[in-house]
Amino acid sequence: MTDSTLIPADSLKNQRQNLRHQRRLKGWQGVWRFVFLCGMTGGLIWTVSLPHWLIQAKSQIKILGNERLDQKQIHTMLDLTYPQLIWKLPIHQLREKLESQPPLETVYMTRQLFPVEVTITVKERQPVATATMGQQAGFIDDEGVWIPQSFYQDAKVKPSVQLKVLGLSSQSLTYWKSIYPLIVSSPVKITAIDWRDPSNLILHTALGKVHCGTYRDREQFLEQLQELSKLRQLSSQVAKERIIYIDLSQPDAPSVHLKDIPSK
């Protein structure tokens, strides 16, 4: 056998040995990578599970923006159990839970790591009138959101409003957002709205009671208030005590119902 036939055989043997060595090296590299990743993952899990990352008490939840509601009330609405891992705190669900409460309009929540705490910034609804709905007393804001009185029983500041609404219903709530600006801007001051009879909306005004009939739409109500404005001088012509009510159920033909003057 000549040297020319031995050289390729040796070369093939060296190549096979090199390939086996490379495969073993790659195998060990894969094992070490796996061990390294497991160590990193375990270390990360251990790190984030440390007590330093726990919300352990209400004192770690800071509440800002509350004007009427006490912080204890908002904590009660939050209904959060402790301890809570700050990484797992369901911020979005908790925000939606608070925003579903009638006294709160908007809620913002942020997490902070150093120190570990959660900040809740709330914007409360502003009641514009007291209102009765069925047998319940409460308040209503300018958007037509009904707020039961129970939310303000333990409030640090009670709502102070002058306007009253009687006989509020789910249907009249849908009208409120459009008619409230008209009530506020009325030249004749309106102190109460009586909706207990759906067929006859009654306004308590500086001129006396005003019967508006069935509420149909904003345009008609605006027309009725415009006609009421034209009657502002009525009190200089007729004693207020004689006015039983002003009828604006037909705005184009208003009428005033008066008490009879007793004969001498």
Three-class secondary structure assignment of 15-84: HHHHHHHHHHHHHHHHHHHHHHHHHHHHHHHHHHCCHHHEECCHHHEEEECCCCCCHHHHHHHHCCCCCE
**Lowest mean per-residue pLDDT among 46-55, 57-66, 224-233:** 46-55
pLDDT (tens digit, 9 = 90+) per residue, 144-157?
999 999 999 888 88
What CATH number should be reported for the domain holding residue 206?
Answer: 3.40.50.11690
- Domain span at residue 86 reads 52-124
E strand or H helix that includes residue 5: helix 3-48
Does some domain include residue 2? no
Say what the pTM is.
0.76
pLDDT (tens digit, 9 = 90+) per residue, 176-204?
999 999 999 999 999 999 999 999 999 99
Does some domain include residue 263? no
Does some domain include residue 264? no
CB 48 within 8 A of CB 116: no
Is residue 228 domain-shared with residue 133, that is, in the same domain? yes
CB 60 within 8 A of CB 109: no
Helix (H, G, I), strand (E, B) or coil at 130: strand
pLDDT (tens digit, 9 = 90+) per residue, 7-54?
465 666 666 666 666 666 666 666 666 665 765 655 555 444 455 678
Q: What is the CA radius of gyration of the chain?
A: 37
